[in-house]
Amino acid sequence: MDTNALLLPALLSLSAATAAAAGTRPPHGHIEFLWEARDPATQARPVALGLLLHPERPHQLCWKSSRFPDGTVSVRLLAKRDATKVALVEETVTAAAPIVHCHPFEPARHGLADGEYEIVLTYDDIEVAREPVEIAADLASAGFHRRDAVFVQGRTNYPAGVAPEDYRGHFLWTLTFGADGRVIDVDTVEAEGIAASMREAGDQAARLYRIGAADEPGAAPVRYRLRYDLVP
């Protein structure tokens, strides 16, 4: 039996209860996978819903926090599969939230094989976030690579100077995908709330979407209507 699997959630619950009793919220953590490093010249990033063992360009493994603990914290990202546990990132962090740390990630370099994993984020060995992900040998064998499914989502970067309570709205797009699964046309149907002031970033994000490539290189384009909600 994996006693850590029993103890860590209990410790986290105790930490949350203690924080609540003290009138503070417990630490926050979030895991995000990027298909490749974000382009610093744009206001968007390519969020991956599946990964490759040997990507053409390194994926990015990111962790974020809007409520980071006080003091110096040992932060770890682990890959778990059955009884196997592999450390992917280990770093010591002393900082005030918000925090975004991204690291190049080529799964095969960590000795991972293809299959389903859970990526776990811990602060001082206490689990704060967990995300499942498929790591495939290649796109041809990937369960996430289908003509009728998105495997890379474009997401806008959080704009500077905007309070969380003001960060609400949505984009509604009609996206046209070519035979290679990449976006060839964007029609913004709606840009409501905060999205109305983020049209350029929204267009950049929309063009990062990817679906599975068609079987035939000359296949006709396909269109999908997709909504992206902006929430704190």
- Alpha helix (H) ranges present in the chain? 3-21, 199-206
- Alpha helix (H) ranges present in 134-229? 199-206
Q: What is the pLDDT of residue 201?
A: 98
Sheet bearing 169-177, strands edge to edge? 183-193, 169-177, 222-230
Q: Which of 18-32, 36-50, 203-217 has the lowest mean pLDDT?
A: 18-32
Q: What is the pLDDT of residues 115-131, one digit of tens each?
A: 999 999 999 999 999 99
pLDDT, mean over the chain:
90
CATH 3.30.2420 in the chain: give the residue spans: 156-232
Q: What is the pLDDT of residue 66?
A: 85
pLDDT band, residue 140 (cuts 50/70/90): very high
Q: What is the pLDDT of residues 33-86, one digit of tens each?
A: 999 999 999 999 999 999 999 999 999 999 999 889 888 999 999 999 998 999
The tokens for 144 are 């996430």
User: Scanning the structure block, which residue is given the tokens 């041809």?
Assistant: 140
Q: Which of 15-24, 95-104, 125-134, 196-205 has the lowest mean pLDDT?
A: 15-24
Q: Inform me whether the pLDDT recorded for 22 exceeds 90.
A: no
Q: What is the mean pLDDT of residues 164-184?
A: 97
SS3 (DSSP) at 106: coil
CATH 2.60.40 in the chain: give the residue spans: 1-145
pLDDT band, residue 13 (cuts 50/70/90): very low
Residue type, 72: T
Q: What is the pLDDT of residue 24?
A: 60
Q: What is the mean pLDDT of residues 166-170?
A: 96
Q: Which CATH class is domain 1-145?
A: mainly beta
Contact 170, 193 (CB under 8 A): yes
The CATH code for residues 156-232 is 3.30.2420
Q: Which residues contact 207 (CB under 8 A, 6 or more apart)?
A: 154, 183, 186
